[in-house]
Amino acid sequence: MIKVALTGNIGSGKSTVANIFRIFRIPVFNADIEARSLYSEIDVKNKLRILFSDKIFTKTGEVDTKILASIIFNDKQALKSVNSIIHPLVLAKYNIWCNKHNDSPYSIHETAILFENKLENNFESVIVVSAPEEIRLKRVMDRDGITKELVEERMANQLSDSIKCELAQFVINNDGSIFLTPQVETIHKELLSK
């Protein structure tokens, strides 16, 4: 099975593109969802408590991801520390998941921060979903109901679109000028031919 990473900056439309691959019956692993699920594990909670004390926990003992996000998106070292806890665990889950989907010609690993965490060498191909910053900004503000400043904080922790596009084998344009499905279908056919 060919391992393909699907990435793109916040608001680029990765999830929409991932859903089109699902329509083509390609299995998709969503690293962000898997990462969020890890915050409920006791070992992860204990490591986060050592890093940030109880200030990131709710009264019921769960990780308050909004408080955690407000810390890590303003502190690169804190972000690096959390990633060093979460990403090896996500990668381990991904490897187990791959074994279950080994009969597929290829699979998609959807992740926001592939290049930022130097994970691209784990994949044979990388697809980047690209859209201009103004469009992405508006999408995220509308989707999450958050301020422009909060979106810009998150964007500041990601590589530029142009750098990601240079590093990828495939680029999907999601600025609204070209339909997504034909772009995905072209990549799908190429990956099936490998």
Q: Which of 74, 100, 126 is the last residue of a domain?
A: 100
pLDDT of residue 162: 93
Q: At 42, list the tokens.
A: 């006791």
DSSP the chain: -EEEEEE--TTS-HHHHHHHHHHTT--EEEHHHHHHHHTTSHHHHHHHHHHHGGGGB-TTS-B-HHHHHHHHTS-HHHHHHHHHHHHHHHHHHHHHHHHHTTTSSEEEEE-S-TTTTT-GGG-SEEEEEE--HHHHHHHHHHHH---HHHHHHHHTTS--HHHHHHH-SEEEE-SSSS-HHHHHHHHHHHHHT-
Q: Is the pTM of this model over 0.75?
A: yes
Is it the case that residue 180 has pLDDT exceeding 80? Answer: yes
pLDDT > 70: percent of the chain:
100
Question: Do residue 2 and residue 50 come from a single domain?
Answer: no
Note whether 158 and 182 are same-domain residues.
Answer: yes
Whether residue 109 sits in one domain with residue 193: yes
User: What is the extent of the structural domain holding 66?
Assistant: 33-100
**76-92 pLDDT, tens per residue?**
899 889 989 998 999 99
User: Do 122 and 93 have their domain in common?
Assistant: no
Q: Tens digit of pLDDT for each residue in 156-177?
A: 878 899 999 999 999 999 998 9
Please indicate, yes or no, whether residues 115 and 19 belong to a single structural domain of this protein: yes
Q: Tell me, yes or no, whether 110 and 95 share the same domain.
A: no
Question: Which range among 22-26, 141-145, 171-175 shows the weakest confidence by mean pLDDT?
Answer: 141-145
Nearest to 36, CA basis, from 62, 18, 13:
62
